[in-house]
Structure 1
Amino acid sequence: MLKGQDVCSVAELKPGNMKCVFVGTTRILLSNVEGKVYATSDICSHALAYLSDGYLEGCVVECPLHGAQFDVTTGKALSPPADGDIETYEVTVADDRIFVASAQLAPAKI
């Protein structure tokens, strides 16, 4: 049995790219770093800004608002003005689909 919610196809997220998806009402940032997909919160820990509107360079996403940087593989804050790390979520890739799971995430209601 697959773990998590199906959020998009693998083809939608090429290496070096990122994409915002939703699990219920939670914004999730998917990042493809050298062919491996990572999932983190899409919201900067410093201010209400969407990281998916920022820039991904290697494994580092830069917030478009004030330039805070985070490692998308760990969620660790790398530079000010970040107030803390961002949440990370489990990713499973199966049958050309990307699934995101976490105990903190409520699945979308159908």
Structure 2
Amino acid sequence: MSKFTEVAKTEELKSGTMKKVSAEGREILLARVGDKYYATDDRCLHRKGDLSQGKLEGTVVTCPVHGSQFDVSTGQVVRWLKGGLMSKLGGAFKMSRALRVYNVKVEDGKVLVEFLCAAPRGQLYFSWAGKASPWGKNRVDPFPGGIKWTRTLAQSLRSTRYPSNSTPSLNNF
């Protein structure tokens, strides 16, 4: 189920500008490029930088903290960190992933954002097979890092503790 929520008036944003809005308990980055409006989560996924304080060039927003760039129209990573030592260290500890994006529509001078009960882009989600998870009953929980992280974990488990014909369970950790 989804619902559209008013987050701004059309006259609040000029083309090429963005701002932070709060709605449905979330901080949203609202950007206007030409006559189109885009909405994503406002926090960078690396160090939680406030993207609304960054720089918008076309549809690309740059995080003011470490220079990561995201396309606000798709949420996809354009550049993960700015380069140099920070890029190498940051990439080793936290893999890049896309921002959650929201559907936007304009009606009667109002900018409306659709809030869904769905997984954000760029994350792999798993359920606890009908059992209560450690974080709450019947909740679907994020598995950070997505498929690359999963492969790395599987390779590590195979090469260290577990023979290739066994499957570890969460009880092993």
- Report matched runs for 1:25-44 at 5 Å: 25-44=25-44
Tell me the CA shift for residue 48 of structure 1: 1.3
Please point out which of 57, 72, 91 is paired with 2:104.
91
Moved over 2 A (4+): none
* Aligned partners of 1:14 and 1:35 also within 8 Å: no
TM-score calculated relative to the size of structure 1: 0.88
TM-superposed deviation, 1:24: 2.3
What is the TM-score of this pair, normalised by structure 2?
0.57
Query: Greater helix percent: which structure?
Result: 2
Q: Contact 2:106–2:112 (CA<8 Å) still a contact in 1? A: yes
**Contact 2:5 2:115 (8 Å CA) reproduced:** no
Larger Rg: 2
Identity of aligned residues (%): 42
Q: Which runs of 5+ in 1 are unaligned?
A: 106-110
CA RMSD of aligned residues (A): 1.4
Q: Using the alignment, how far apart are the partners of 1:74 and 1:63 within structure 2?
A: 16
Stretches of structure 2 that go unaligned for 5 or more consecutive residues are 82-94, 119-173
Q: What's the counterpart of residue 76 of structure 2?
A: 76
| Deviation for aligned residue 1:103 | 1.1
Q: With CA pairs under 8 Å and 6+ residues apart, which has the higher RCO, 1 or 2? A: 1
Q: Report the AA paired with residue 56 of structure 2.
A: L
Give CA deviations for 1:6-43 in whole Å, capped at 9, x if unaligned: 11100001100001111122000011011200101101
